[in-house]
Chains A and B, each alone.
Chain A
């Protein structure tokens, strides 16, 4: 009788190769990516794939509104978010500082120093979005280059870069950012830099996995066979295919970074308190949760909507470019 294990040996190899779960390249950021952008394609439920859909348009409108209002903040007719305001005075001329709940005059209410919370949220968006977009942009640039190189040159270079990324990912990421900010100082630039450092290995890992699968396709081999240089193949053949995945993950990345900024602020390692960011608004209201929850709830709601929109758009981009089989 021929040994049955001989026959099934190939199957095992096949199944292991085919099964993504056993790939050592599977790690947390990629699985988060999978979790957000996988499966039912929220963006497409019950719909044909034509057109963008209501959800995507709502997301785009929200983000556009957010961006324009934060750009235009200095020109908007909103109260000053930072400097002392003229406070209502009572009896003895002493300033009575009370956080007031939302009203028609102040849609998000006033905080404990009498600042308009809506105005602070808009001004905060400037810094929070800046931190999110710039740090992910930097991470995308560095991580994308590293990941593409690592994925395309599978041998020693790829292995080395892969190991470095592994090591960077073994540190708790918020802690890493905290460390960098503590050492460099609590400025917007440093927080951006810290979060860029944290997001680089994540983006690099996804670029690497994507480049890895694309660089094995026939058209890449064909380009190589025709004598194209490595640089040309990466630039012309691999990169254009990796980009949709990168763009999709970048959208999710911005969302994660916006949340991380607030997280850093809460543990006392964010931008210094006098700078208005969403995180700092929340920290400022934390002590008054019981009496004036709106100070915390307003920026929380805005963060929620922004993250939701970014995730949603990331999902749409992923669904449209069908990144999944290349990314995982």
Chain B
């Protein structure tokens, strides 16, 4: 109906029978920005895959490339000064070389995104209802009236009270949590197979965060969507993701199924991320362990392991040669480290660094350190999620 001829042609490319295999396969993806200072390798050789209906958690600090990764996969980055290489297979079809016109047939209908800041992600001068229906009319061949009904149903599905009235309102008339629910309603309105959630709770009040995450999980289950949940908070993905990818300086430093990651983490950066989460089990007033140092400069990254300048277990080899991504106990679990956590080399490096007075090594507090492959690991995931879920009673309640 609304589809122009151009977009219909573009859609044809993607309306062939989907191939067998995973929903999404990313192979050796590089995203480089050409800046005034030089080339910024925001995503530097990422390989991952995602099955239908599954959740992948992408975790890292700001600057680790996780947001750029999500936008690279979706193809939302600007074309000028950005270079993407590698392969992105969506349902078995290559989309890295697709034009915007071709991708437009996928955006919203096959894959969509929930953004970080709901205060700025909705058009301030357009009614909520129009913001939903314009997309439905773009992708589905339905009447305006039916699109309106669909939009209403979506709002109800994401737990917006008085949905009829809200359709006629503007974003500024709603709270942040409500707006994020609307963003979710927009993202899922056309039944995408893959949903990107880019730090969907970072800009929200703590009390609302868990509600939004639960809503995402619930909708994902009901619609059998796959989800890529991007966050800086390991606690957010702990109870929700099937698999977790930890990113640092544009690279995957550790990748494992969620349970395995928490029970057998190998990379010092993963460990540091975990330590920086406040825990309910810890005595009150215990210090939070922030990760010392700064996130790496992706234009001029350090030689060797990118994390080495901040790593308490750093030794000579780390600063010279970058460790490859190797399998841990199973091929599902991969990491990139010369002195993985829990090994004798790791221990030795820490002792040596302490003796040398290295700040990051001295900052490591022994009691939360998973010495060997044991101690705190079992309690950690549970504890970390409970601090988020604690307040959740009625996920559809008022926001």
Which A residues are within 8 Å of any B CB, using their own CB?
A: 1-2, 4-5, 7-8, 11-12, 15
Residues of B within 8 A of A2 (CB): 175, 398
- A5 to B171, alpha carbons, bound, how many Å? 10
A-B pairs with lowest CB-CB distance, top 7: A1-B398, A7-B175, A8-B172, A4-B175, A4-B174, A4-B173, A11-B172
Which B residues are within 8 Å of any A CB, using their own CB?
A: 119, 124, 161, 172-176, 178, 398-399
Which chain A residue has the least Cβ–Cβ distance from B171?
A8
- A316 to B124, alpha carbons, bound, how many Å? 35
Knowing that A1-B398, A4-B174, A15-B124 touch, tell me 17 more A-B residue pairs with CB under 8 angstroms.
Answer: A1-B161, A1-B399, A2-B175, A2-B398, A4-B173, A4-B175, A4-B178, A5-B173, A7-B174, A7-B175, A8-B172, A8-B173, A8-B174, A8-B175, A11-B119, A11-B172, A12-B172
Residues of B within 8 A of A7 (CB): 174-176
The contact sample of 21 A-B pairs, CB cut-off 8 A, is: A1-B161, A1-B398, A1-B399, A2-B175, A2-B398, A4-B173, A4-B174, A4-B175, A4-B178, A5-B173, A7-B174, A7-B175, A7-B176, A8-B172, A8-B173, A8-B174, A8-B175, A11-B119, A11-B172, A12-B172, A15-B124
Tell me, rounded to whole Å, the shortest Cβ–Cβ distance linking B246 to chain A: 35
- A90 to B268, alpha carbons, bound, how many Å? 103
Residues of B within 8 A of A15 (CB): 124
Tell me, rounded to whole Å, the shortest Cβ–Cβ distance linking B305 to chain A: 35
- A5 to B173, alpha carbons, bound, how many Å? 5
Which chain B residue has the least Cβ–Cβ distance from A5?
B173
Which chain B residue has the least Cβ–Cβ distance from A48?
B36
- A48 to B193, alpha carbons, bound, how many Å? 46
- A2 to B178, alpha carbons, bound, how many Å? 11
Tell me, rounded to whole Å, the shortest Cβ–Cβ distance linking A197 to chain B: 41
Residues of B within 8 A of A12 (CB): 172
Which chain A residue has the least Cβ–Cβ distance from B174?
A4
Tell me, rounded to whole Å, the shortest Cβ–Cβ distance linking A11 to chain B: 6
- A2 to B119, alpha carbons, bound, how many Å? 17
- A4 to B398, alpha carbons, bound, how many Å? 11
Residues of B within 8 A of A11 (CB): 119, 172
- A97 to B161, alpha carbons, bound, how many Å? 88
Tell me, rounded to whole Å, the shortest Cβ–Cβ distance linking A10 to chain B: 10
Per DSSP, chain A at the interface is helix
Residues of A within 8 A of B399 (CB): 1
Residues of B within 8 A of A5 (CB): 173
Tell me, rounded to whole Å, the shortest Cβ–Cβ distance linking B247 to chain A: 32
Tell me, rounded to whole Å, the shortest Cβ–Cβ distance linking B164 to chain A: 16
- A279 to B11, alpha carbons, bound, how many Å? 63
Which chain A residue has the least Cβ–Cβ distance from B36?
A48
Residues of A within 8 A of B178 (CB): 4
- A5 to B169, alpha carbons, bound, how many Å? 11
Most buried by A among B119, B161, B172, B178: B172
- A4 to B175, alpha carbons, bound, how many Å? 5
Tell me, rounded to whole Å, the shortest Cβ–Cβ distance linking B376 to chain A: 39
Which chain A residue has the least Cβ–Cβ distance from B162?
A1
Residues of A within 8 A of B119 (CB): 11
- A12 to B170, alpha carbons, bound, how many Å? 12
- A5 to B165, alpha carbons, bound, how many Å? 14
- A11 to B175, alpha carbons, bound, how many Å? 10
Tell me, rounded to whole Å, the shortest Cβ–Cβ distance linking A325 to chain B: 20
- A12 to B119, alpha carbons, bound, how many Å? 11
Residues of A within 8 A of B172 (CB): 8, 11-12
Tell me, rounded to whole Å, the shortest Cβ–Cβ distance linking B296 to chain A: 27
Residues of A within 8 A of B173 (CB): 4-5, 8
Tell me, rounded to whole Å, the shortest Cβ–Cβ distance linking B38 to chain A: 15
Residues of A within 8 A of B124 (CB): 15
- A12 to B124, alpha carbons, bound, how many Å? 11
Which chain B residue has the least Cβ–Cβ distance from A7?
B175
- A4 to B176, alpha carbons, bound, how many Å? 9
- A103 to B172, alpha carbons, bound, how many Å? 68
Tell me, rounded to whole Å, the shortest Cβ–Cβ distance linking A126 to chain B: 46
Which chain B residue has the least Cβ–Cβ distance from A12?
B172
- A8 to B124, alpha carbons, bound, how many Å? 12
Tell me, rounded to whole Å, the shortest Cβ–Cβ distance linking A167 to chain B: 34
Residues of B within 8 A of A8 (CB): 172-175
- A7 to B177, alpha carbons, bound, how many Å? 11
Which chain A residue has the least Cβ–Cβ distance from B205?
A7
- A245 to B161, alpha carbons, bound, how many Å? 52
Residues of A within 8 A of B161 (CB): 1
- A12 to B175, alpha carbons, bound, how many Å? 12
Which chain A residue has the least Cβ–Cβ distance from B176?
A7
Residues of A within 8 A of B398 (CB): 1-2
Which chain B residue has the least Cβ–Cβ distance from A3?
B175
Tell me, rounded to whole Å, the shortest Cβ–Cβ distance linking A18 to chain B: 12
- A5 to B175, alpha carbons, bound, how many Å? 8
- A127 to B62, alpha carbons, bound, how many Å? 62
- A1 to B178, alpha carbons, bound, how many Å? 11
- A4 to B118, alpha carbons, bound, how many Å? 14
- A5 to B172, alpha carbons, bound, how many Å? 8
Tell me, rounded to whole Å, the shortest Cβ–Cβ distance linking A45 to chain B: 15
Residues of A within 8 A of B175 (CB): 2, 4, 7-8
- A307 to B398, alpha carbons, bound, how many Å? 62
Residues of B within 8 A of A1 (CB): 161, 398-399
Residues of A within 8 A of B176 (CB): 7
Residues of B within 8 A of A4 (CB): 173-175, 178
- A5 to B174, alpha carbons, bound, how many Å? 6
Most buried by B among A2, A4, A15: A4
Which chain B residue has the least Cβ–Cβ distance from A8?
B172
Tell me, rounded to whole Å, the shortest Cβ–Cβ distance linking B106 to chain A: 33
Tell me, rounded to whole Å, the shortest Cβ–Cβ distance linking B219 to chain A: 22
- A8 to B178, alpha carbons, bound, how many Å? 11
Most buried by A among B124, B173, B398: B173
Tell me, rounded to whole Å, the shortest Cβ–Cβ distance linking B264 to chain A: 43
Tell me, rounded to whole Å, the shortest Cβ–Cβ distance linking B140 to chain A: 30
